[in-house]
Amino acid sequence: MNKGEILVIDDEPQIRKLLKIVLESNDYKVVQASNGTEGIHLAANYTPELIILDLQLPDMSGHKVLEELRNWFEKSIIILSVIDSEEDIVRALDNGATDYLSKPFRTGELLARIRSSIRLNQSVELQQKILSDDIEIDLTSRTVYRESVIVKLTSTEYNLLVLLARNQGRVLTHQYLLKNIWGLSAQSETQYLRVFIAQLRKKLEKDPNHPAHFITESGVGYRFL
């Protein structure tokens, strides 16, 4: 039984070969890239369940690849690298890595971390309610409450709220939000976001002029708290 597709981004042929053998023998489908550019392209076209990413790539830093992926890729990314400095580990985790494993690695430990990361993906997808202070989102009924009172949202307002709320505390870039709510053709239309964030603040913030939930990260995007 196929447990899901995993994208491996690593420039070492022997590592890619080892990972392919280990993962396929454990019923995962494997797609491979030898550099960052190819990896980003494959992630967009194959939408894998999980990505294994090296930090040392021939065309760009793995940190840069991670940042690019996190503009739109929501599922788990495990860093697998010979680089094991605390600075690099913290930087990767701050930039959205789900986990970090140093080379050389034990295959049993890697498989355990993959299973844990995929369970995390699935638990988020199966989540039925999101609670944040005075806001409650019932994903099953698509109903939103503020202080236990139903708030009527348009379909676009609701979809934007859920995307932000599923990523509580994480900065989502303008491009990421526009692509996921309005599509690729709208990635430069930042005025859409200003209008809809203002509407959400009006409906869900106690004081829209001093928002506690919908936080602007100047020049970057928005964060939901």
CATH for 49 = 3.40.50.2300
pLDDT tens figures, 60-107: 999 999 988 988 787 889 999 999 888 888 888 878 888 899 999 999
pLDDT tens figures, 1-34: 678 899 999 999 999 999 999 999 999 999 999 9
Record the tokens describing residue 104, joined without a space. Answer: 């050389």
Are 113 and 191 contained in the same domain?
Answer: no
Are 67 and 85 contained in the same domain?
Answer: yes
- Across-strand partners of 215? 223
Are 136 and 173 contained in the same domain?
Answer: yes
Q: What range defines the domain where residue 139 resides?
A: 129-224
Instruction: For residue 81, give the DSSP letter.
Output: E
Are 106 and 143 contained in the same domain?
Answer: no
Are 98 and 177 contained in the same domain?
Answer: no
pLDDT tens figures, 110-167: 999 999 888 777 666 656 777 777 899 888 888 999 999 999 999 899 999 988 988 8
From 125, 142, 165, the end of a domain falls on 125
Order of all β-strands in the sheet with 5-9: 29-33, 5-9, 50-53, 76-81, 99-102
From 98, 125, 152, the end of a domain falls on 125
The total domain count for the chain is 2
Are 220 and 202 contained in the same domain?
Answer: yes
Are 118 and 140 contained in the same domain?
Answer: no
Order of all β-strands in the sheet with 135-138: 129-132, 135-138, 143-146, 149-151
Q: What angle do CA 47, 42, 93 make, to 5 degrees?
A: 70
Are 92 and 172 contained in the same domain?
Answer: no
Residue 58 binned pLDDT confidence (cut-offs 50, 70, 90): very high
From 125, 147, 179, the end of a domain falls on 125
Are 30 and 10 contained in the same domain?
Answer: yes
CATH for 165 = 1.10.10.10
